[in-house]
Amino acid sequence: MRTQGQLVERLKSSGVIKHADVERAMRECDRKHYVDGGIPAAYAYQDSPLPIGYHETISAPHMHATCLELLREHLTEGARVLDVGSGSGYLAAAMGVMVGDTGKVVGIEKHPELVEQSIANLRKDHPELLDDGMVELRTGNVLGDALDGEEPFDAIHVGAAASTLPDVLVKKLAPGGRMVIPVGSQWDYQVMQCIDKDEGGQVHKHDLMYVRYVPLTEPGEAW
């Protein structure tokens, strides 16, 4: 596959992309802008994770599509969205396309160098998302104080594996909202969980699939 369009067609034909809004977001966000500059262009559109530095990767496109499909009913016009471990910025950009002019995506990444790079990536692909305030990318740790003062979010994507479900993220999930998060040991496969909070505030958990993610670390914890 040599173009974003070919990649999206492959994900559609394999049944990973099921809905037009997810298809549009992934067509409009070109993965070549979010991979490491040293990666040959031919690899940008392969359905596999790629290193972005600092022991992190950009997820495989099928995982981006899967998470967008799981969250799509909450990625509507005007929604508030949190992207934990926003990395090179691809999923934050795609979610920004989906929530539109009145929505807001907050991407939080612990490595300041990756935050700088992700901002540069969006500048190449979708500068309007930054200029118009639909996407905000910043350095922080959600297990520390990065979410202090933030209103609840309609959708939360976590791109790193938590050893247990973080209470701070459950509290920041709005009633009626959904979170997708990998949970489990950093030394083994984890389980992707779907966390739904109903309008009464009750939390419901569903195990979805086995995955492998880098760990979600505590403030000051090395990885």
Active site residues: 59
Phi, psi of 115, rounded to the nearest 5 degrees: -65, -45
Spell out where the chain has E strands: 50-53, 56-58, 80-84, 104-109, 135-139, 153-158, 173-183, 190-197, 203-211
Neighbouring residues of 42: CB distance < 8 A, sequence distance ≥ 6: 2
Distances from the Cα of 81 to the Cαs of 1, 15, 136, 169, 220, in angstroms?
30, 25, 10, 12, 25
* DSSP conformation class of 161: B
Alpha carbon distance 36, 141 (integer Å)? 23
